[in-house]
Amino acid sequence: MSLHEARRRLAAARSVAVLTGAGGSAESGIPTFRDAAGLWKGFRPEDVASPEAFARDPGFVWDWYEARRRTVAACEPNAGHRALADFERRCGSFTLITQNVDGLHTRAGSRRVLEIHGSLWRVRCTGCGETREELRTPLPEVPPRCACGALLRPGVVWFGETLDPALLAEAWRAAESADFFLVAGTSGQVQPAASLAEAALARGAAVVEINLEPTPLTPRATVALRGGCAALLPALLLPEAPTGMQDIPSKER
């Protein structure tokens, strides 16, 4: 019933924006951050993903990123990533905003992806500031160094760091002009990403959430679909919803 309602709202939308989080890649085999068996198990996030942690022990931080790069390199995009890529090709006005740094949306065929938390596959020099792609894993040396001699760091956004202003501005524009805003696989605990859905709600957009669990957004979502992204993104976005998907437990406003 609610999947039906979400599809009806989507069919009526002129401008669509999507925000994805770690839950979107969970079914590809990539651990999330805050679930019980998540990436942070045994660590406080700030102890690994922060400029202070890197300044204290760049080798430790790089070991963690290298382990993640290896995991991601061995994983494939799932049916949810593919459904988003397919939808982009059919939708006139579409923006995909992701908090994920794994690159799986692009590997699935999405053309324009706003990677607001950066990418595991980019490095940036802490000395000269040069940014480049780095696809090799394992890296020849850990921690890696730039030709200028300074340490390279992962091209991601850590706690306490600002997001790329141009990317963030584009994400805000998309959220504020969307009449359908989809939030998939994110706990909504990290700012400013979590506020994008609030902005869309404030502008009167239909906000549809896909998640295994309730989040702070759930009570205010127009439709909250409870389930995994790999099944629900195709069920929502593909032209023909697979049969048997009409009974997804959900909450409708």
143-182: contacts with Zn ion (CB under 5 A): 146, 148, 150
Outline where the chain has alpha helix (H): 2-12, 23-26, 45-48, 51-56, 58-73, 79-90, 104-108, 165-177, 193-202, 229-237
- 81 flagged as catalytic: no
Q: Please, what is the minimum distance in Å from the beta carbon of residue 91 to ligand BJW?
A: 21
CB atoms within 10 A of CB 240: 7
In this complex, which beta carbon is closest to ligand BJW, that of residue 14 or of residue 133?
Answer: 133
48-107: contacts with ligand BJW (CB under 6 A): 49, 99, 101
Interface region with ligand BJW, contact rule CB under 6 A, candidates 20-28, 86-94, 122-130, 200-208: 20-28
Nearby residues of 22 by Cβ (< 8 Å), 6 or more positions away: 30, 31, 32, 33, 38, 99, 100, 185, 186
106-165: contacts with ligand BJW (CB under 6 A): 117, 156-162
Q: Please, what is the minimum distance in Å from the beta carbon of residue 14 to ligand BJW?
A: 26
- CA torsion 71-67-45-217 (nearest 10°) is -10
Binding stretches for ligand BJW (CB under 6 A): 21-23, 26-27, 32-35, 38, 45, 49, 99, 101, 117, 156-162, 185-187, 189-192, 210-213, 215, 228-229
Catalytic center residues: 117
